């Protein structure tokens, strides 16, 4: 009898329900399909059961139950990185959705949030107080999942990774203990979780620093996609002198012909420069002039409160079937930009929705004292491309992703696991000393490999 079958017997779901108190959905239950669905519709995850605990004690009960029944525990909130999980028939999918409390302390400039809280649950209230979290391009990922994987966002060149702004983590470890990991307590756990992800336990709440930001100057310059070569060359040259106050993205974007996309954009393709400036409008306008001088078709730059940029990158809000490619890149030259445009620009035949290069470096390259397992990101740029992976387009998307990834391969210097949406050997993506220390932490906290994380450390 497989473990999946065990949970389909009447006894196990009843026992799990009785033990944890929160909602439990097992195969065959009416709520199972909705409870197991995630952000990537190309992936059909079928866990042995889905548990939705409401507080740490219920999480501990799920851990105990899983251990007793020979199952594993896979924490998940939104499923934005569900791709690498693979087979879940031997795992309880532990949804953190119900633990979504948010508290902001303006005096200490700290937020304390439940593991189910997403960036959009914090950003508006923080913004009203002249504060911002180090969020990324989409406001609907969980702060926990994003930060445990590193967290590279719109303020990254100035303020670094979100993981290194985390000040405390409430965690249920695989032994069923509820711990509070801080720089003073459970120090190794605190270090490992900040970049090492969900390999060491289920985080039930976290506390992190907010940064004081009253307003940003931010927006997008839209150019016809036929100008991608000229625009991306100019953007790349511009990044060489852009100060750390600016985090920017050069991008080729093909809006799908869907009714949700506003009419002027629907089905159209553009070359874009997106940027967020922290230096005030006057200086930002001066800095932006070489790119603005190219004469964009549309210019959305404006001074706005930090909450205004939550959806600047126009990431999809609803689940989509997608596939992606990613690499961290070192210094780029003009040949790299030409290769990218040849692979994904006008006339390339690419149907990819988005092909982007984010400017990294700055604070992302410097390790803070007391940083976690992911102290820095390698390289100077981040490549990410995404396409639709429904049955009609999956093969073409695969080929298009391969072409653009191959074009940039000579510049690849590593990967950043938050952007990796397939199963990989994680050891290669941390510096050797950090990789060894992470494996040792996994042995300490999860010697039986109870945790089923998206990117597994110390896989057997
Ligand atoms: C459209 C899109 C835009 C993105 N933009 C950015 C960006 O700008 N910057 C960036 O850095 N990343 C970005 N990401 C990547 C994103 O940060 C990761 O996918 C992250 O893992 C999402 O966290 P989640 O909890 O919402 O996702 P989930 O898929 O629910 O969780 C991912 C993994 O995180 C771990 N995890 C989650 N919650 C817990 C918990 N409470 N305890 C223990 N482990 C946990 C688990 O191992 C889980 O498998 C983006 C992804 C997408 C799809």
CATH number, domain at 137?
Answer: 3.30.465.10
Q: How far apart are CA 74 and CA 451, in angstroms?
A: 6
Give the number of the atom of ligand 1 that is nearest the alpha carbon of residue 201.
43
Centre of ligand 1 from the C-alpha of residue 113, in Å: 16
Residues 13/26, Cβ–Cβ less than 8 Å: yes
Pick the last residue of a domain from 95, 111, 146: 95
Give the number of the atom of ligand 1 that is nearest the alpha carbon of residue 146.
17
Q: How far apart are CA 357 and CA 222, in angstroms?
A: 15
**Is residue 257 domain-resident?**
yes
The residue whose CA is least distant from atom 41 of ligand 1 is 203
Please tell me whether the overall predicted TM-score, pTM, comes out greater than 0.75 for this model: yes
**Is residue 267 domain-resident?**
yes
* Domain identity same for 21 and 62: yes
Q: How far apart are CA 203 and CA 196, in angstroms?
A: 12
> Which residue stretches of 296-409 are H helix?
334-344, 394-408
198 lines ligand 1 (CB under 6 A): yes
Of the candidates 248, 255, 398, the one whose C-alpha atom is nearest the C-alpha of residue 316 is 255
* Domain identity same for 200 and 243: no
Q: Structurally, how many domains does the chain consist of? A: 3
CATH number of the domain enclosing 84: 3.30.43.10
Centre of ligand 1 from the C-alpha of residue 142, in Å: 6
* Domain identity same for 350 and 220: yes
* Domain identity same for 206 and 222: no
Sheet holding 49-52, edge to edge: 23-25, 49-52, 91-95, 72-76
* Domain of 46, in residue numbers: 3-95
* Domain identity same for 78 and 117: no
Question: In tens digits, what is the pLDDT along the chain, a chain of 460 residues?
Answer: 455 555 555 456 778 888 888 799 999 999 999 999 999 999 999 999 999 999 999 999 999 999 999 999 999 999 999 999 999 999 999 999 999 999 999 999 999 999 999 999 999 999 999 999 999 999 999 999 999 999 999 999 999 999 999 999 999 999 999 999 999 999 999 999 999 999 999 999 999 999 999 999 999 999 999 999 999 999 999 999 999 999 999 999 998 887 777 787 888 999 999 999 999 999 999 999 999 999 999 999 999 999 999 999 999 999 999 999 999 999 999 999 999 999 999 999 999 999 999 999 999 999 999 999 999 999 999 999 999 998 988 999 999 999 999 999 999 999 999 999 999 999 889 999 999 999 999 999 999 999 999 999 999 8
Of the candidates 222, 218, 215, the one whose C-alpha atom is nearest the C-alpha of residue 302 is 218
Paired residues of 89 in beta bridges: none
* Domain identity same for 108 and 30: no
- CA 104, 248, 230: angle at the middle one, nearest 5? 160
77 lines ligand 1 (CB under 6 A): yes
Residues 254/231, Cβ–Cβ less than 8 Å: no
* Domain identity same for 175 and 127: yes
- CA 102, 153, 307: angle at the middle one, nearest 5? 50
Alpha carbon 177 to its chain centroid, in Å, reads 27
Enumerate helices (H) and strands (E) in the chain, giving the number of each.
13, 20
User: To test the ligand 1 pocket, which listed residue (55, 81, 118, 372) has its Cβ within 8 A of the most ligand atoms?
Assistant: 81
Give the number of the atom of ligand 1 that is nearest the alpha carbon of residue 96.
41
Q: How far apart are CA 457 and CA 459, in angstroms?
A: 6
Q: In degrees rounded to 5, what are phi and psi of residue 302? A: -160, 160
């Amino acid at each position: 009898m497989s473990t999946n079958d065990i949970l389909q017997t009447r006894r196990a779901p009843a026992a799990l329900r009785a033990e944890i108190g929160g909602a439990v959905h097992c195969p065959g239950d009416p709520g199972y399909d909705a409870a197991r669905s995630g952000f990537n519709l190309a992936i059909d995850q079928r866990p042995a059961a889905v548990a939705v605990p409401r507080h740490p004690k219920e999480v501990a009960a799920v851990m105990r139950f899983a251990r007793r029944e020979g199952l594993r525990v896979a924490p998940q909130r939104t499923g934005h990185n569900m791709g690498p999980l693979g087979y879940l028939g031997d795992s309880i999918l532990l949804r953190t959705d119900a633990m979504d409390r948010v508290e902001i302390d303006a005096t200490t400039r700290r937020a304390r949030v439940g593991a189910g809280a997403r960036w959009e649950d914090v950003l508006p209230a923080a913004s009203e107080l002249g504060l911002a979290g180090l969020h990324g391009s989409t406001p609907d990922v969980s702060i926990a999942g994003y930060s445990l994987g590193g967290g590279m966002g719109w303020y990254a060149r100035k303020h670094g990774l979100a993981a290194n702004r985390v000040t405390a983590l409430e965690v249920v470890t695989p032994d069923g203990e509820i711990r509070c990991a801080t720089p003073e307590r459970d120090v190794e756990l605190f270090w490992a979780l900040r970049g090492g992800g969900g390999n060491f336990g289920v985080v039930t709440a976290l506390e992190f620093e907010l940064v004081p930001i009253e307003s940003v100057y931010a927006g997008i310059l839209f150019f016809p996609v036929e100008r991608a070569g000229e625009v991306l060359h100019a953007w790349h040259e511009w990044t060489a002198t852009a100060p750390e106050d600016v985090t920017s993205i050069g991008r080729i974007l093909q809006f799908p012909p869907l009714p949700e996309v506003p009419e002027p954009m629907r089905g159209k393709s553009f070359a874009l420069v997106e940027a967020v400036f922290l230096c005030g409008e006057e200086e930002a306008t001066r800095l932006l002039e070489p790119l603005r001088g190219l004469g964009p078709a549309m210019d959305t730059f404006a001074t706005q409160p930090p909450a205004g940029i939550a959806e600047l990158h126009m990431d999809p809000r609803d689940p989509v079937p997608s596939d992606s490619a990613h690499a961290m890149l070192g210094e780029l030259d003009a040949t790299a930009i030409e290769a990218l445009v040849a692979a994904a620009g006008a006339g390339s035949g690419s149907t990819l929705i988005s092909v982007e290069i984010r400017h990294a470096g700055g604070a992302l390259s410097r390790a803070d004292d007391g940083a976690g397992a992911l102290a820095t990101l390698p390289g100077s740029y981040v490549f990410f491309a995404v396409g639709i992976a429904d049955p009609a387009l999956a093969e073409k998307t695969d080929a298009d992703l391969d072409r653009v990834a191959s074009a940039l391969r000579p510049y690849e210097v590593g990967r950043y696991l938050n952007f990796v949406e397939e199963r990989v050997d994680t050891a290669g993506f941390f510096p050797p000393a950090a990789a060894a220390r992470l494996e040792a932490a996994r042995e300490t906290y999860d010697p039986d490999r109870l945790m089923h994380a998206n990117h597994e450390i110390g896989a057997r």
